[in-house]
A and B are shown apart, each in its own frame.
Chain A
Amino acid sequence: AQKVTQAQTEISVVEKEDVTLDCVYETRDTTYYLFWYKQPPSGELVFLIRRNSFDEQNEISGRYSWNFQKSTSSFNFTITASQVVDSAVYFCALSLSNDYKLSFGAGTTVTVRA
């Protein structure tokens, strides 16, 4: 069975600080997909990134970056120069193969203070 652990329950930062969200996953499969979603206070789930297990390249999208390390089974997410609009709950998720039955972590609540 697969499992996703987001050990940080809540993180509070001041605007412009960087914040890194940890995600550790467990699976015995060699083919899997990792995701990050953002859930702002309005409640919807916003897709941020999908990464497959064969692509360990780190990715940067604007102020967002992701560090995928298979050796430590981690897929960490960094927000650079945080803004108040980044305040949200962030979920890491895992699916095996491409069935996209997602196993979610418990989420990390990020609060960015002005």
Chain B
Amino acid sequence: DADVTQTPRNRITKTGKRIMLECSQTKGHDRMYWYRQDPGLGLRLIYYSFDVKDINKGEISDGYSVSRQAQAKFSLSLESAIPNQTALYFCATSDGQGVIFGPGTRLTVL
């Protein structure tokens, strides 16, 4: 099984809809992150969590929220999706030695 899994892998939704992207990891890492990738901009940090009770905003948190349901699970929500949130979203985990990324979720907001 993959170390970091993301569901769904692809999603098309409409403006104004609420959507949740889920991330699970089997590495037992405390640290988890959500990034988004836009063409020509690289990846940017949305939110991060260093343990179950710790949630922190990243560089571009507006329009997003997260939930750390357990050590292994970190979900990203778009409360009311808008077209400029169309992007590739990556979840990542770290044990303090490196960063492992999930396979990504391609989200399209129409």
Contact = CB atoms under 8 A, between A and B. Distances in A.
Given A47-B98, A98-B96, A91 B42 contact: yes
Interface in A72-93: 91, 93
Given A91-B42, A91-B43, A102-B43, A45 B90 contact: yes
Contacts, number: 53
Interface string A88-114: 000101000011111111110000000
B73 interface: no
Contact of A101 (B45, B90, B100): B45
- Highest count of chain B CB atoms <10 Å: which of A35, A37, A47, A102: A102
B78 to A, nearest CB: 20
Given A104-B43, A106-B42, A107-B42, A47 B100 contact: yes
B64 interface: no
